[in-house]
Structures are given as structure tokens and as C-alpha cells.
Structure 1
């Protein structure tokens, strides 16, 4: 199976379902104050690149976003439907978002994820992300892991 990743509007019904599934997963693991989701309107902001992965049948099976800031970007809303896992889609989404950041001249990407998101932590570590302290508006949280990757410009 092949996947197609492109910029899309996050408000489409099939995409909203994926986003809701990701939020439900987070809510089952963490209290509300430890979940940091960008709402739909924020995902549509000019500085955000929101991508959707679709399978050969056009079904939305993954999402991700990168928020471009001054000098750095933040990875947000990475989610792959359980039925599409194990095929390298998370790596493809991550690479797509990293390429969007670097092509915009941003060479530092940061993220926040939860301590129980073992698959995500493994993906990020294998992809060169290292742990760091809280950044931007985040407060230190024993349920959060903050990471960063620097690219050469």
C-alpha cells in the first residue's frame, strides 16, 4: 500500500475523525491539562502546515502539522490510524513535515509528547530528536517529554 501526503484543510469530516481519535487516545492517558492540541482554527493559521496522509483508496489515515515560528518550528497533531500503523507512515509524515520546515528556512524543530506515548518517543528518538527542557509557553510537566532536533542549514 502506498500513501499520499499533502497539505489539506483540517476541517474535513474524515480528517476531523482522525483528530478526534487522537484526542481520545490522549484523554485516556493524561489529564486535560497535560494534553496540548491545537484547535482546528489554529491548524488553519498561515504559519501552520497541516498535512493529511491518504491511502490508495483516498481514505485519510494520518495527520500531522508543523507550526513555523521565528527561528524554530513545533511539531503538532501527529496521528496515524491504528489500521495504517506498521507500514512506515509515521516516519513518512515526520519526514514530510521536517522538509516543510527546512524549506521554509527553519532548522530547529521542537515537540511535546507524553511519557506514555512509547511508539512516538521511539520514532522521535530514532529520527534524531533529543530530550530538552520545556519551551515556549509549556510548563514543566512530569507527564510530558520535550524534544528537539537541529538540522544543518
Structure 2
């Protein structure tokens, strides 16, 4: 297993994001994430996990300084379904948090959905606390938002 920092545009990560959006569309009966387009220039760091050389999971941190100084936002956290239950999502999260701190991020926020209990469990067990829905998720009843201080 390897964990590496890669560009947001990395083809393996792009393929994983496409899979994630298809899974979200199946769960919620929509097109996937409410925010479809994430500008490359806003992405601070992207992490790719490989198992036996094959892409297995990913995640990114976006510049979210619009929500406060030193704020980043977790985006596109995903692990392929056949590889879940092995701690890969926690590995991605831990690496993203460390990389975010290196880039001056002091607080992370995130949005996930009410139909993603595995995600909610991961974030709660990692020390994230519930916050009111923010930004584009304010009126989305199926959104759940969290934050964690990194300092």
C-alpha cells in the first residue's frame, strides 16, 4: 500500500472521483455532489492511496479561507467499495490533515450526506464535530457538516 500526494488532475484520482459521483447519484437519486465543479486552483493538496499498485482511494483539501482564516475544506474523500473496511479512508484523512497543516490550514470543514453513515462515523471517530450547514449546503436537508481544529 502506498499513499502519495498527487496533482488534482491526476488521471487515477479523476477516475476515482467519477466513481464517487456515480455512487452518490445512486444513493441520493441525483447527479452526485451538490457542488460538481471544483476549481483546480483552489485545491491545496490531493492524496492517492494505491493497493497492490492499483488506485484504491483519494481525497483533497480545498482552500476554504472564505469560511475563515486558515480554513480548508475536505473534498472528494472516496475509497473503492471492494476495499472498504481496511482503514484506507482513515489513512487518507490522516495524510490530508498532515499535508493541510504543512500548508497553513488550521481548521478543516466538510460536508457529507445523511445517507453516508460510514463517512459520518469516520469523521466523528477522528474528532470532527457537527456544525451548522454552510455555504452551498445551507438549505440541503440531506447534508451534514463537520469541523475539526488542526492546532
Normalising by structure 2, we get a TM-score of 0.86
The question of 1:21 aligning with 2:19 is answered yes
Write out aligned runs for 1:67-106 (5 A).
67-70=62-65, 71-106=70-105
State the Cα distance separating 1:142 from its structure 2 match: 1.1
RMSD over aligned Cα atoms: 2.1
Please give the per-residue CA displacement for 1:42-78, whole angstroms capped at 9, x wherever unaligned.
2x3254311111113x211101000123320000000
CA separation of 1:15 and 1:34: change in aligned 2, threshold 3 A:
closer
Instruction: Look up the match of 2:41.
Output: 45
Instruction: Look up the match of 2:61.
Output: 66
Instruction: Look up the match of 1:149.
Output: 148
Task: List alignment gaps of at least 5 residues for structure 2.
Answer: none
Q: For 2:5 and 2:30, how far apart are their aligned partners in 1?
A: 28
CA separation of 1:88 and 1:68: change in aligned 2, threshold 3 A:
same
State the Cα distance separating 1:86 from its structure 2 match: 1.2
112-121 vs 77-86, which moves further? 77-86
Q: For 2:149 and 2:76, how far apart are their aligned partners in 1?
A: 20
Instruction: Look up the match of 1:116.
Output: 115
Q: How many residues align?
A: 147
| Residues 68, 101 of structure 1: 8 Å contact kept | no
